[in-house]
């Protein structure tokens, strides 16, 4: 009877080994789930960035206000009917255009 119990216990261990440590075992599945969750977090950040860029591209394609704002802030441009005043603090060199 003891030999049968030992045999059955050994059989259970042999059958449980692939479940825990095999190619599709619980430990491997848990590690893959953790990697998927980390990649989903990265993907959601990239999706938010892509959505912001997409909105900016649509705004630049549709509206002249966005183009004008970009030209004013990035390129320092002014309209032809505007007057530009540059105030330079004493002791600081003027910023060349």
The pTM is what? 0.51
The whole-number pLDDT of residue 48 equals 97
The whole-number pLDDT of residue 24 equals 77
The whole-number pLDDT of residue 41 equals 97
Determine, yes or no, domain membership for 3.
no
For residue 62, pLDDT beyond 90: no
Domain of 74, in residue numbers: 24-78
Helix-helix angle 2-21:26-62, to 10 degrees: 20
Determine, yes or no, domain membership for 16.
no
Mean residue pLDDT across the chain: 85
Determine, yes or no, domain membership for 49.
yes
Determine, yes or no, domain membership for 31.
yes
Express each pLDDT in 72-88 by its tens digit. Answer: 888 878 888 888 777 77
Determine, yes or no, domain membership for 6.
no
Q: How many domains is the chain partitioned into structurally?
A: 1
């Amino acid at each position: 009877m003891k030999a049968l119990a030992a045999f059955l216990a050994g059989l259970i261990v042999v059958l449980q080994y692939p479940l825990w440590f095999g190619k599709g075992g619980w430990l491997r599945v848990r590690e893959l789930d953790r990697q998927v969750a980390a990649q989903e977090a990265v993907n959601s950040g990239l999706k938010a960035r892509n959505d912001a860029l997409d909105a900016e591209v649509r705004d630049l394609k549709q509206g002249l206000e966005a183009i004008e704002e970009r030209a004013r802030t990035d390129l320092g441009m002014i309209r032809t009917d505007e007057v530009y005043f540059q105030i330079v603090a004493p002791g600081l060199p003027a910023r060349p255009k």
